[in-house]
Amino acid sequence: MKYFSTRDSDKKNYSFTDVLLKGLAEDGGLFVPVEYPQINGATLTKLRDLSYKDLAFQIMERFISESIPAQDLKDILDKTYDASVFGSVAVAPVVPLFDGIYLQDLSSGPSLAFKDMAMQFLGHVLDYELTRRGESLTIVGASSGDTVSAAEEALRGKNKITVVMLTPKEGMSPFQKAQAGSILDRNIYNLSVPGPFDICQDLVKELNSDLTFKSKHSIGAVNSINWGRICAQVVYYFKGYFSVTEDNTELVDVVVPSGNFGNVLAAYVAKQMGLPIRKLVVATNENVVLDTFFKTGVYKQEVVTVTSSPSMDISKASNIERYFFDLVGRDQDALKKLMHTFETTKSIDLSPFMTEIRDKAGFVSATSTHNERKAVIQSTYKKTNRIIDPHTAASVKVALQLKAADGVPMICMETAKPTKFEEAIEDALGFIPSRPEGFEGIEEKEQRFFDVLDSVESVKSFIRTLLD
C-alpha cells in the first residue's frame, strides 16, 4: 500500500511508516492511500467472528502491508488492545440502547475517551518504528480536550518521543484540564494558548509549513491528520457492524458526534472498503459548519460558539480535506484550488456534488442544542440507567430524530465517559457520577502547563528552548 498527499500534483508515493512519522505532508496536504483496500463478501464473512486484536490485524495489515512485518504488527496490536488497557477482552462492545438504536463503547481506555482506540496503537507503532530507524520525534499537536490526554497517555515515558500539545486556555472541562496537566513525565509538555481550539490547530499547521524548522526538530503529529489514527479507527466500525447484524446482506447506519471529522471519516473509509454502511450520520452541536455543508454543500468557517460539548466546538474540520479530495475525483490540482479558495475566502461551494454527498457517500447530518442534549441525558438515564456524556448525547439525539421506520440498526459512537463532563451531567441529572477507579481527586494533583502566545513564533521559541 502506498500513500500520496492530497495536494501533490506529482503524486509522489510514500510508505505507511513514512506518512506515520511525517504526519502532515510538506505541501500542507493530508496523506491518503492511493486506493482503498477492498474487502468482499467472502472475506467479510471470515472476519465476523474474530477477536478485536485479530480483526484489527486483518483490517490494518491492508493499509500497512510491507511497511511492518506481519508478526511485528501482531505484537504491536497485542499490546495495544490488551484487556489490561481497555478493561476487558471485549474491546469496543456494542449494547442496545433503545429500539433499533445501539451504543458502541469506545471510551474504556486509559484516558476515558474514544481517541484511545487509535492513540494507543499510535504510541506503540511510533515507538517501534523510531527504534527500528534509530531516530527520535517531536510530536506537536492541538486538542480541544480529549486528544491531549489520550496522546500523552499513549506516549508518556517513551524516550524517543517528545510531546508538545497545544490546548485552549479556556473551554476544556476541569477534568480534561487536570487529566492533561497531571501527566508529568519528562517527555510531556502542555502549552496553554489564549483563544479557541481553532487557533491551536492553525498554529500546528503553520508550524508544519516551515519545512526547515520541521526537519531540524523532527516534527510529527498525532492529531487525526495522522493517517495512522484513521487507519486504527476504521476497525471499530467493522466490529460494530458485526455486533448488530447476522449476515453481510444487512445494512447499518452509524451516528457519529463530529467536530474535526476524523471519527466519521474512518466510517467513510470503512464504507469505501466494502462495509455495508448505509448512512453516515454526522451529529453536531451549536457549531453547525459540518451540518450546513452536508445539507447545502457550502462549507463556510464561522465563529466558534463555546458549548457544553466542547470537543465539537470547531469551525474548521481538519480531516474534511480527505473527503473533499475524493469528492473532486482524487484530483490534486482541483483539491489545491479548492483549499486555496477556502483559505482565502473562508468559504467554498460544493453544492454541485450534493447527489454524490447524499446518495453515493450516504452523508446526512443534524444538530443539537444544550437543552436537547440535556434532555437526552435525562431520558437515557431514566430508561436505561446509563449515563452518557454530552457528545454521545448529541449522537443519540440525532439517532432518535432520524431513526428510519425500515428497521435498519443505528449505531451511536460513544465518545467519552460522563465523568469527563461532570458539570453538564450534574446540570442534567442533579448529581455527579462516580468516577472510575484511579481518577478520584485528579484536580488536586500537581499540574504543569506552559503559557505561550497565540503566535507560531511563540510556539517555535518554546520548542527551540526545549530541544536546542
Q: Which residues have a catalytic role annotated?
A: 115
DSSP-derived 3-state class of residue 364 = strand
Distance CA 437, CA 328 (A): 48
Q: Are 382 and 301 in contact (CB under 8 A)?
A: no
Q: Are 152 and 180 in contact (CB under 8 A)?
A: yes
φ/ψ of 431, rounded to 5, equals: -150, 160
Residue indicated by cell numbers 518521543: 161
Cell of 271: 464504507
DSSP code at position 420:
G
Exposed/middle/buried for 98, CB within 10 Å: 0-12, 13-18, 19+? middle
Q: How far apart are the first and last CA of the chain?
A: 36
Say what angle helices 174-181 and 422-429 make with each other, to 10 degrees: 150
Cβ neighbour number for residue 279 with a 10 Å cutoff = 21
Exposed/middle/buried for 211, CB within 10 Å: 0-12, 13-18, 19+? exposed
Adjacent-strand bridge partners of 363: 280
DSSP-derived 3-state class of residue 20 = helix
Residue 295: HSE in the Cβ half-sphere, 13 Å Cα cutoff: 12
Radius of gyration of the chain (CA): 21
Distance CA 139, CA 164 (A): 6
Q: What angle do CA 28, 324, 204 make, to 5 degrees?
A: 30
Q: Give every strand in the sheet of 277-283, ordered side by side.
A: 94-98, 101-104, 410-413, 252-257, 277-283, 363-366
Question: How far, rounded to the nearest angstrom, does the alpha carbon of residue 320 sit from its chain's CA centroid?
Answer: 12
Say what angle helices 116-133 and 227-244 make with each other, to 10 degrees: 140
